[in-house]
Structures are given as C-alpha cells and as structure tokens.
Chain A
Amino acid sequence: MKKYKWLVPTIYILFLMLPIYWLLNMSFKTTTEIINTYSLWPQKFTLENYITIFTDSTWYTGYLNSIYYVVMNTVLSVAAALPAAYAFSRYKFLGDKHLFFWLLTNRMAPPAVFALPFFQFYSSINLFDTHIAVALSHCLFNIPLAVWILEGFISAVPKELDETAYVDGYKFWRFFFRIFIPTITAGIGITMFFCFMFSWVELLLAKTLTAVAAKPIAATMTRTVSTSGYELGLLAAAGSLTIVPGAVVIYFVRNYIAKGFALGRV
C-alpha cells in the first residue's frame, strides 16, 4: 500500500490542474474555434486574446486596480493587526475577550449582507469608486483574520524575550520594531499571504464599491462578457492572467506555508 501512496496527491493535483488547463487551452484559441470545434489543445494557436488585453487600457487597468487595492489592504490589515495582536497576546485589559470575539464575528458576516449598506455608506462619504474604499471594506474580514493568526504566532514567542529587552534598556517601540517584528517574520509572512489571498479573490464588495476608476479585473471580466456577447477566448485569457499574481505569491511563501502553519494558531 505504501508503494502507491504517491498516487493520491498526484491524482488530486491532476484534478486541480484540469480546469486550469482547460482555461489556458481556451485562452489560446479564437472564440470561433472554441464554439465550433471541441479539441483538447488549440488547433490554431493564437496569442490574440492576450494581445487585446495588454493593449486595451480598460483591460489592463483592471489588473492595476486589483493589485493596487489588494496591496493597500494587505499593508493596512497587517499594520493595524500587529499591535492589536500583541496586546491580545500579552495583556489583560477591560473587555479584551469581548472585543476579540466581536472581531471574529465580523469574519462571519456574509458579504452579501453588507453589499448594499456598504454601497450607500461609501457613497455618502464620497469614497465610492476609489481604491481606498475597496481596501477599507476588505478590512472587515481581513483584520479579524490577521489578528487571529498573528495572536497565535505572538503567543508562541516566550514572554521572556520582551522582558529581557526591557531589562537591556530598550524602549517599547524600539524593541517592537528592532527585535519583536524580526522574530515573527514567518507569522507576518503567513498573515500577509492570507490577507492577500482573501482580498484578491473577493469580488462581491469590490464590484459593489467601484464603477470605473477602481474597477477590479475580475469585475471587468464579467462586464465584457455581458456587453459584447460571449467573448470566450478573451474571457479565458483574462481569467488565466488572474491566476498569475496568486501563483507568484504562493511561490514566494511556499516554505513558510508548511513551517508557519505548524508554529502559529492556524
């Protein structure tokens, strides 16, 4: 039995790759070919779909918009969550448990519940259709997650580290940036990975809060489909390109994933 153990992950990975391959396959076909002939690989290989995307600003600004607000959200979430997670891990204070639970409940709020009120709220404060609006709205579910993961990592660091630093005469913030943050880089890496991931894949809020100027790529895709008929080749190419940033991020954190998971709360 042990001899055939490798078969399970292999079959699973094949299953995961199949739809992705199909998307790639279609992205190198023309829409006419997709509709008229069924084939496992492109009969007439074409890069036209990709050229369209890279030369048309309505397409590629979609990517830039997405990356812009995702990075903004990741930085914002982690920067805010770090001191909070430290406080939850190290100190007792009035209402700490309630606050922690309240934070987590926001992770449980269905985005569909908030879509409409978000639209009205951000319109009323003149932030509608800006990157910061999407970045802020994603804080709703990313900050609780970031606090939760980081708290786990920070609790794994012995308190003696803090105490030694104070005895050595470090002021708090100097200690926090010079000593503490470097010791939990793995945790910060994992947290950023999750924030990036959930902000990048979320669409309901991102679509609701934008119209033109900050429209994410994933939303651009749906719009194009509905207006110009089924441009399947173009759709597939755009979809394929949305996989790239995620793949790059995974590649960079691949070593942290296995290690980091085991260390922290996740």
Chain B
Amino acid sequence: MNKTVNQKAWLFVIPVFILVAFNAAVPLMTVVNYSFQETFGNNVFTWEGTRWFKQILRSDRFHDALGRQFLFTGIILLIQIPLGIFIALTMPKKGIGVSVCLVLMSMPLLIPWNVVGAMWNIFALPEIGFLGHTLNDLGFDYNFTQQIGDAWFTTVLMDVWHWTSLVVLLSYAGLRSIQPAYYQAAEIDGASRWAVFRHIELPKMKKVLTIAILLRFMDSFMIYTEPFVLTGGGPGNATAFLSIDLVKMALGQFDLGPAAAMSLIYFFIVLLVCWVFYNLMMRNEEQK
C-alpha cells in the first residue's frame, strides 16, 4: 500500500509512545544505571564500569544458565512447531468440530502461568499425580523433583501442553487462507500428499510460521513462572533457566549490579536472535 507522508500522524502515536516509554524507559535506565555501579544500600553507589559485564560473561553460572536456556528453547521449538503444523493439518475444516477444537485447544493458553505450574506439579507428583503415579505403575522410576532427566521431561512436556496450541491456531489460520483451487490443481497435476504439503501448504504458511517461531522463541526464552512453580529451578540448578537464575540473583542474593548486567546481556541476546531470524526470513522473501 502506498502511504502518504504526514508528520501529524505522530499525534496518533503519542499515546502509545507515552505509555510504553513510561514503562520501558525509566526501568531500563534503572537497569543500565545499576549495571555500571556497585551498591551496598542507602543509595550509595560507586562506579564500576564494565566490571559486571565482564564478570557475567566469564562466569560459569551464566554460561550454564544460557546453555540450559538454549537447549530448552531448541527442544521446545523442535517439538512444538512440527507437532503444531501436524495437528493443524488434521483438524476438521468445517462443521461443529472446528469450534470444539478451537475452544478446547485454546484452553491452556488462557490459564495463568503459575496455575499451569501448580497444575502440572500436582499432575506429575509421583504419589498423588496422575502422570507420576501412572509412570511409576508402568515400572518407570519417575520423580521429577529429584531426577534431572525427569525434571526436564516434565518441564518440556508442560511447555508442549501449554503452548503447542498457539502454533496450531496460527498454522490452522494459515491453512484456511489457501484457495481451494490450489488443492484442486495439485490433484489434477497428480501431486502426492507430501508434494502438496511441501509446495503448497508450507509456502503459504510461511508468514504465520515466522510469527509462531518468533513468539515461541521469545516466550520460551523468557520463561519464568511455570518452571519456577513446577520445579523451582531444581533439582539443584538443573532447570534454572535464565529468568529464574536472574531473579535468584537480583532478589535472592540482592546482587543488583551483576543482575542488571545480566539483564542487559539477556535482553540483548533475545533482540539479536529475533533480529537475525527476522532478517533471514525477509531476505529469503526478497530473493523471490
């Protein structure tokens, strides 16, 4: 769409600008402020330069948390994106089934995150939870509060439960926008099911899938509440992802300087990954 140049349009943007800046600018400045200083309370600050940044970037604790975070996000994306697409492909296209699927599938998305954690906690506990109890009955030695593998399994399963529906909804919307003529033409051309998916459905879903991957990346990278309630980051630090580690550092140990430096590095990583991913997708688009 060709847009007209109109500087007065700024007036329309002012409310948004004020509301977001109000929330973003001052707190972000506070974080930046802390990240370069040392404090022992009472508003006494000493300038520390880039010391905290260096310290964080060199610390094993940060490396471990970051590694866990990337591993978790990677697993989540690898499961949720293909699974979401697969479920969307098998969903009914008309009739009452559509509403039933949409309503029931959206349910997990609208449950407060700590309730999700609590729900999975009591669902997975070996003594009282359905999942834990059943797995132990089947002969697995399952206890997510004590075994690292089980804790990861449960956290991943919880996130799959919680968020796959978002990918399903987005993919489904993308699929619905495909004109029936495409399927008919493919049928006449004798295309296999795989070819229809590869050459019609996947390219048409590209836009919504970009959004799905971006949203899932951001949100899983920033995950805090659900694993905090489910495992508390444990056993040990096995499921202490970046946010959990950060809050521990900031509120638990009150190491404001390092915590602020870590915040900024963390934020920067999210931005960088999103920016790179977005540009890759867009460059691909332009090449066409």
Contacts and interface: CB of A to CB of B under 8 A. Distances in A.
Given A197-B109, A242-B115, A91 B5 contact: yes
Contacts of A261: 169-170, 172-173, 176, 208
Contacts, number: 274
Interface stretch (B44-52, B123-131, B183-191): B123-131
A38 B28 contact: no
Nearest to A76: B19
B79 interface: no
A148 B106 CA distance: 21
A94 B10 contact: yes
B12 interface: yes
B211 A9 contact: no
A20 B5 CA distance: 52
B218 interface: yes
Most buried by A among B30, B108, B118, B164: B118
A179 interface: no
Dominant secondary structure of chain A at its interface with chain B: helix
Interface string A246-258: 1101110011011
Contacts of B131: 19
Given A93-B6, A222-B229, A113 B87 contact: no
Interface string A100-124: 0001011111111111111011000
A91 B6 contact: yes
A23 interface: yes
A222 B108 contact: no
Given A139-B23, A258-B98, A258-B176, A5 B4 contact: no
Residue among A13, A93, A217, A251 with most chain B CB within 10 A = A93
Interface string A158-176: 0100000000000000000
B19 A34 contact: no
B145 interface: no
B91 interface: yes
Q: How large is the interface on B (under 10, 10 to 19, 20 to 34, 35 or more residues)?
A: 35 or more
Contact of B26 (A9, A113, A121, A232): A121
B134 to A, nearest CB: 10
Contacts of B128: 26, 34-35, 38, 232
Interface in B1-33: 1, 3-10, 12-13, 15-17, 19-20, 22-24, 26-28, 30-31
A235 to B, nearest CB: 6
A82 to B, nearest CB: 9
Contact of B15 (A83, A218, A257): A83
Contact of B111 (A40, A89, A159, A246): A246
A195 interface: no
B102 A218 contact: no
Interface string B255-280: 01001000110110011001000000
B114 interface: yes
A208 B166 CA distance: 27
A204 B225 contact: yes
B270 A9 contact: no
Contact of A251 (B103, B246, B256): B103
Given A9-B91, A246-B110, A80 B123 contact: no
A111 B87 CA distance: 31
A6 B96 CA distance: 13
Contacts of A221: 114-115, 118
Contacts of B263: 110, 112-113
Contacts of B17: 84, 99
A8 B90 contact: yes
Q: Which of A84, A116, A232, A255 is packed against the most chain B CB atoms within 10 Å?
A: A116
A143 B250 contact: no
Contacts of A235: 118, 122
A19 B6 CA distance: 53
Contact of A197 (B22, B110, B224): B110
A31 to B, nearest CB: 10
A183 interface: no
A180 interface: no
B251 interface: yes
Contact of B9 (A5, A87, A106, A120): A87
A64 interface: no
Nearest to B263: A113
Task: Please indicate which of the listed interface residues A103, A255, A261 has the most CB atoms of chain B within 10 Å of its own CB.
Answer: A261
B161 interface: yes
A241 B131 CA distance: 22
A75 interface: no
B175 to A, nearest CB: 9
10 contacts: A13-B105, A16-B161, A19-B131, A23-B119, A84-B13, A106-B23, A114-B23, A115-B251, A140-B24, A261-B176
Given A81-B16, A83-B13, 10 more contacts: A13-B101, A91-B9, A103-B16, A110-B243, A112-B222, A121-B30, A159-B1, A261-B169, A261-B172, A262-B174
